[in-house]
Copies of this chain bind each other. A is one copy, B any other.
Amino acid sequence: MIIAVVGLGLIGGSLCKAVKAYTDHFTLGLDTDEETVRRALADGAIDSIIGVNGLIDADLTIVSLYPEQTVGFILQNAAHFRPGSLVIDVCGVKAPVVAAVSPALRERGVHFIGAHPMAGREFSGYGFSQAELFQSASFIMTPALDADPASVSQLESFALSLGFGRVIKTDPAIHDANIAFTSQLAHIVSNAYVKSPTLASGFGFTAGSFLDLTRVAKLNEDMWSSLFMLNREALMYELQTIIAHLNEYLDALRHGKSESLRSLLKDGRVLKESSLNI
């Protein structure tokens, strides 16, 4: 099939490269940065450079932009997608994006499915894109209850063909509640962790646990602040929850309650062990 990718950043660029590495599909690339599209063409990541008028040729259009840009692009270009073709987005928050773009596409007979390829790196941009980015990763899709079954199954096969390890279908709101906990909270906690003045004292030795806790502190603040704002309620709930729990440990320490502290730690250990089976 003919696949158009809008936005050749880390994810869009990697999708193009994975398509060319693992499938026989034809790729069309669209990006506002001229150097990026020329580079993608030279790399063989895309077979052709297009403008919005070229979207009409695509069987599948993957809009791989930041959340607000994704919504803006789809709404402004709804008339450019071919009726009967499939359009997906790849934003890390699904409910608001799906709600914003679905009606306009449905009205024109364009199929739409929200997606979230759970892959990324601590670097952004086409320069870091790679065909192997999605190996063994989860591909989450949030098709509407009345989504076109052929499109759902086409997208599922497509994801697996790029190396994704599994495809998970879920509801946009359930996705967002889960992602607030498993990913968004992790980025905020990690980012907050490094703000202790002790970091700067430069003692020169770190534990493996420190490296684990702070790996994702190095993030793209433009993308993440946008994702966080779109998922405010769920993320606020998770932040309030962890702050409340941290205060319990602090309280036990402050009052020298070693048995309470032990018990708090045991509770967490048992929950972690139970989660290992998820």
Contacts and interface: CB of A to CB of B under 8 A. Distances in A.
Contacts of A271: 194-195, 199, 217
A145 interface: no
A197 B219 CA distance: 26
A18 to B, nearest CB: 18
Interface string A192-220: 11111111011111110110111111110
A211 B189 CA distance: 13
Range class of the A interface residue count: 35 or more
How many identical chains are in the complex? 2
A149 interface: no
B236 A209 contact: no
A contact face: mostly helix, strand, loop, or mixed: helix
A168 interface: yes
Contacts of A189: 189, 193, 213, 242, 246
14 contacts: A138-B205, A168-B205, A186-B209, A186-B213, A191-B265, A191-B269, A195-B241, A206-B278, A209-B216, A212-B216, A217-B269, A235-B253, A236-B254, A239-B249
The 7 A-B residue pairs with the shortest CB-CB distance in the complex, in nearest-first order = A191-B268, A186-B209, A217-B272, A221-B265, A225-B262, A178-B203, A181-B198
Interface of A: 118, 138, 140, 168, 170, 174-175, 177-183, 185-199, 201-207, 209-210, 212-219, 221-222, 224-226, 228-229, 232, 235-236, 238-243, 245-250, 253-254, 256, 258, 261-269, 271-273, 275-276, 278
